[in-house]
Structure 1
Amino acid sequence: MRFRLATLPASLLFAAAAAPTLAQTSVPSASSAPLDPAARAAIVGQLSTELRSRYIYPDAGEKGAAAITAAAGSGAYDRFTDLPSFARRLTDDLRGVLHDNHLGVFGETNRPALSVASIPGDEAGIVRVGRLSGGIAYLEIAGFANPRAFKPALDRAMAGLKGSRAVILDMRGNHGGDPASVSYLVSHFVPAGKRIEINRIVWRKAGTRDLTRKPFFSERTPVSFAGLPVYVLIGGHTFSGGEELAYDIQTLKLGTLVGETTGGGANPGQSFPIGHGVMAFIPTGRAESPVTGSNWEGRGVQPDLQVPDADALATALRRLGQSPAAATIEAASPVSVFTPRTVPLSGSEPMLRRLLAGRAAPEPDYTLLSADAGEPGRAALAAAHRRLQALGDPQAIHFRRPDGFGFDEFTLVYPDHTLLVAIDLDPAGKLIGLIGPDKVSP
């Protein structure tokens, strides 16, 4: 289950859970011809259908669909002849009605392209791990990757912080990720031997008003920090899964939040093809705290100690009895105690080789996906298969690095050039994503 890692080309927000989506470098290609009235009508019609069928709140989905249908009927969209502008207008109109910042419509040219080289190199979203003066542990996390990648990385990070007297978790730049990974981090602060429900995700069954709930429980961890003072740094750029971490810590009374109110996005979802080169990220679920029965959607998570987020670290350090000379972690802890791994996760390279070996087939091997991948997952695998079909056999395949999204990156070596690819698997070894191949810049 993910918060928005499945929509990697857009951002690290909430992602699809039941149906993992393979990352692509662009939305499926479409004609570059100007949008005509028939195309605009088709886009609005299909988008309205998807909203009515899938949006987590059925009545709100109907309201959003009705709003863009009425706008189209009034001629409000007649002046939009290019896809990027039309997609932005649809996004603005829907957010104006539904007030959901996860919701978005993307055209092939206004959706940020994703290349392997552009992905952050911090392993599984872990940016910095440091020991500060006074026995204070510091952990900065920009995103929560798939637990297959996140858990071993976090285990190494926490092992380096063992024996600390307090913990600071920096979520000021965290845009989300996998709730299973969020729960695993929270588990480090739950009393040992106590299993509690940390969060749950409520999903809507498409085309119905039926709901299902997926709970996330605390787990045993190699190192425990239960009972220690915990400070979570948050701000306006903390979003989605980053907010869940803060909300969980606060509602479970495991620590203190310091900084500014967060972005206010609690509705996970999935990208769906709309046609004519358009994709829509539609929230199909919502977070639900077992403590409050609610979440932070539209409100954000409120800090316990409200200060400008730039002052949050210094404030937490002063609360812990330290007198920081500067408010930056670079000044407080110039050396990280966390080193990214130098070998791929089990299964990554064999899966990559299997994809390359099967590229000559007319269709991809859909058994590589999990059974619940759905049509978006199948479409993304088909797109990846088409990209691979143009390749020859590489002379060598070398592991490059783990990255911030939980992918393992590899180089494909050819006689006259080198390509980069990134691959991600779920805990069962099934394919989640393939990015690339991209040429290595000179």
Structure 2
Amino acid sequence: MPTNAEIIHRALDRITAEYVFPEKAAHIDALIRPRLAAGEYDGLEERELCETVTAHLQEACPDKHLRLLWTDEPQDLNPAAEDEGRSAFLELLRAQNQGIHRFEHLDGNVGLIDLRRIASADEGGRAIGAAMELVALSSALVLDLRECRGGAPEGAAMWCSYFFPDDQVHLNDIYERRTDSTRQFWTVAHLPAPRYLDRPVYVLTSAVTFSGGEDVAYTLQAHGRATVVGETTRGGAHPTVRYPVAAHVLVTVPAARTINTVTGTNWEGVGVVPDVAVPADEALDTAHKAALRDLGA
């Protein structure tokens, strides 16, 4: 079992090597290691260690994706098993219906999809298509992301693709520090359900909406394809990799950054600001009424 010092050294080594902003990684290292040398982390149980180090990481660099996480399931520390984080995420999505929590047909022929996670495009594509098939004949759509806590960039691009006519829309780019490369995300050419075009789309947000959920909201808003209703989101725009540093401790390292093709920036630290600001628990009613007005109902 590694000591607290070993856990922190492993975490800092990962952050230094892969955090998307090298200068900030150096600053983090310079602030955390003296705390370690001073004995601030001595004697802490691993759960408390995660909370304490995360608070110090956030003081050094307020990136909400940057943290130590406790996990009940023991992790394989073998470097060859580093894809286990993805495997665990895929299992979570399978257990949660690929993030699609519910569908509802609201008064006035308004469709509602309640989305809690953004599935990967490969495994989740059929489920995403099934949800969009259910709303294909609706006159307006409400996409509820108030409880959406993240997911896969490819899945976010697939969700967004349904609201554009073809594969010619450049949605955003993701720059990865480790490879010094930029990956472009465009609308998908072939989708398993009809595209949702020429009809109003409302996206609901809350202070809980995070990461991949923010990606969908920000992208549709920036491209003028949806009206965002609700609260400003949490503000986490950096795609993240998880590495085990002890059997029950993971370090999450934001290893890339999103660049929207319309705004030239992203929602990191500021969140997605709604077009119509209302408390989260009023967002659905507000959006539904707005949709009915759009439809002349």
Shorter-normalised TM range: 0.7 to 0.9
Given candidates 32, 35, 45, the residue that maps to 2:9 is: 45
What's the RMSD between the two structures over aligned residues?
A: 2.6
Distance 2:71 2:291 in 1: 49
Q: Does 1:103 align with 2:47?
A: no
Distance 1:133 1:241 in 2: 29
- Equivalences for residues 51-200 of structure 1 within 5 A: 51-78=15-42, 80-107=43-70, 121-190=95-164, 192-193=165-166, 195-200=168-173
Aligned-pair CA distance for 1:75: 3.1
SS of the aligned residue for 2:63 comes to coil
* Counterpart residue number, 2:181: 212
Report Cα offsets for 1:123-149 as digits up to 9, x if no partner. 211111222221211111111112123
**Which amino acid in structure 2 is aligned with residue 246 of structure 1?**
A
In the superposition, relative to structure 1, how do residues 309 and 81 fare at CA in structure 2: closer, same or farther (>3 Å)? closer
Distance 1:49 1:117 in 2: 28
- Equivalences for residues 333-372 of structure 1 within 5 A: none
Of residues 157-166 and 241-250 in structure 1, the stretch that sits farther from structure 2 once superposed is 157-166
SS of the aligned residue for 1:320 comes to helix
In the superposition, relative to structure 1, how do residues 305 and 81 fare at CA in structure 2: closer, same or farther (>3 Å)? closer
Contact 2:74 2:247 in 1 (8 A): no
Distance 2:187 2:237 in 1: 20
In the superposition, relative to structure 1, how do residues 84 and 162 fare at CA in structure 2: closer, same or farther (>3 Å)? closer
Aligned-pair CA distance for 1:106: 3.1
Aligned-pair CA distance for 1:276: 7.2
In the superposition, relative to structure 1, how do residues 122 and 266 fare at CA in structure 2: closer, same or farther (>3 Å)? same
Aligned-pair CA distance for 1:277: 5.4
Q: Does 1:245 align with 2:219?
A: no
* Counterpart residue number, 2:260: 289
Distance 2:92 2:126 in 1: 23
SS of the aligned residue for 1:44 comes to helix
Distance 1:258 1:284 in 2: 30
In the superposition, relative to structure 1, how do residues 313 and 212 fare at CA in structure 2: closer, same or farther (>3 Å)? same
**Which amino acid in structure 1 is aligned with residue 256 of structure 2?**
G
Contact 1:159 1:223 in 2 (8 A): yes
Q: Does 1:274 align with 2:245?
A: yes
Report Cα offsets for 1:86-134 as digits up to 9, x if no partner. 222111100111111111213466999x8x9987844211111222221
Contact 1:84 1:109 in 2 (8 A): no
Contact 1:48 1:66 in 2 (8 A): no
* Counterpart residue number, 1:381: none
Distance 1:302 1:181 in 2: 22
Structure 1: segments with no counterpart, 5+ residues: 1-29, 32-38, 323-442
Distance 1:122 1:81 in 2: 34
SS of the aligned residue for 1:299 comes to coil
Aligned-pair CA distance for 1:40: 3.3
Contact 1:43 1:276 in 2 (8 A): no
SS of the aligned residue for 2:135 comes to coil
Structure 2: segments with no counterpart, 5+ residues: 76-87
Distance 1:159 1:44 in 2: 48
Distance 2:247 2:140 in 1: 53
Distance 1:298 1:316 in 2: 26
**Which amino acid in structure 2 is aligned with residue 60 of structure 1?**
K
* TM-score for the superposition, normalised by structure 1: 0.59
Aligned-pair CA distance for 1:161: 1.8
Contact 2:105 2:111 in 1 (8 A): yes
SS of the aligned residue for 1:265 comes to coil
**Which amino acid in structure 2 is aligned with residue 131 of structure 1?**
H
Distance 1:111 1:54 in 2: 23
Distance 2:136 2:103 in 1: 12
* Counterpart residue number, 1:363: none
Please identify the structure whose Cα radius of gyration is greater: 1
* Counterpart residue number, 1:202: 175
Count of residue pairs brought into register by the alignment = 279
**Which amino acid in structure 1 is aligned with residue 52 of structure 2?**
R
In the superposition, relative to structure 1, how do residues 109 and 165 fare at CA in structure 2: closer, same or farther (>3 Å)? closer
